[in-house]
Amino acid sequence: MYRVCLFNQSKAEGFADHSALETLTMIIFVRVCLKELSVQGKNYNWIKPDVCPSCNSQNVWGHGFRPAYFTGFLLFLWLKRFRCNTCKAVITFRPHGYFSRFQSSIEDIAAAIFVKLGTSKWPQFLPRQRGGQWLRRFTEFIRIQYGVDNGGVSISDRLMKLHTSDCKFLSEIA
């Protein structure tokens, strides 16, 4: 099973009518071995989606690759993209266990955040600026996904409660 994230992406900076040039971009989180992907590169055997997750059309074609960096790899890895010829959606595959636009795994991010929440210090291997960015973005994600407000309960208290009460919580994120 995979999770699909959807968002619109404008391709027309400076044009008067953006609506005609907007495409739907989807991220499909798939189980993939990063080590294998780094060795095989563009030759990695990506499984093409049977249908477009947006419109259920079978008219899905390969749409090249995009580079992505991941912690532990010096060079970028190639992630496969597909395009639906019917609804023009672009589908990008991303490894399960990694947030979109993050190089580190969800487990690494969560472990560092929980160390910070428990000890008020970031782990020694982690620059505080990077940890601070993780905490800000993770807090905003929690606020959006789970409807957490600041009505008397701090986000850090809510994160700790989610961590201790529901261990599935981290695996549900991606």
pLDDT (tens digit per residue) in 90-114: 999 999 888 888 888 888 888 898 8
**Residue 101 placed within a domain:** no
**Residue 37 placed within a domain:** yes
Are 43 and 67 within 8 A, CB to CB? no
**Burial 42-51, CB ≥16 within 10 A → b, else e:** eebebeebee
**Residue 167 placed within a domain:** yes
pLDDT of residue 118: 86
* pLDDT at residue 11 greater than cutoff 60: no
Give 78's contacts (C-beta < 8 A, 6+ positions apart): 37, 41, 42, 44, 65, 66, 67, 68
55 and 114 together in one domain: no
Domain range for 79 is 4-95
The arithmetic mean of pLDDT across residues 16-28, rounded, is: 63
pLDDT of residue 25: 82
pLDDT of residue 81: 95
Question: Of 95, 117, 147, which one is at a domain's C-terminal end?
Answer: 95
42 and 113 together in one domain: no
* pLDDT at residue 83 greater than cutoff 90: yes
Question: Of 76, 95, 114, which one is at a domain's C-terminal end?
Answer: 95
- Band (pLDDT 50/70/90 cuts) for residue 45 is very high
The arithmetic mean of pLDDT across residues 126-149, rounded, is: 80
Question: Of 44, 60, 95, which one is at a domain's C-terminal end?
Answer: 95
The CA angle 26-30-31, to the nearest 5 degrees, is 165
9 and 91 together in one domain: yes
Residue type, 34: L
Judged by average pLDDT, the poorest of 23-37, 48-62, 115-129, 156-170 is 156-170
The arithmetic mean of pLDDT across residues 59-80, rounded, is: 94
Are 6 and 54 within 8 A, CB to CB? yes
- Band (pLDDT 50/70/90 cuts) for residue 117 is confident
Whole-model pTM? 0.68
* pLDDT at residue 22 greater than cutoff 70: no
- Band (pLDDT 50/70/90 cuts) for residue 16 is very low
115 and 72 together in one domain: no
84 and 123 together in one domain: no
* pLDDT at residue 36 greater than cutoff 90: yes
Instruction: State the total domains in the chain.
Output: 2
**Residue 100 placed within a domain:** no
The arithmetic mean of pLDDT across residues 20-24, rounded, is: 59
**Residue 56 placed within a domain:** yes
Give dist(CA 60, CA 84) in Å, integer.
4
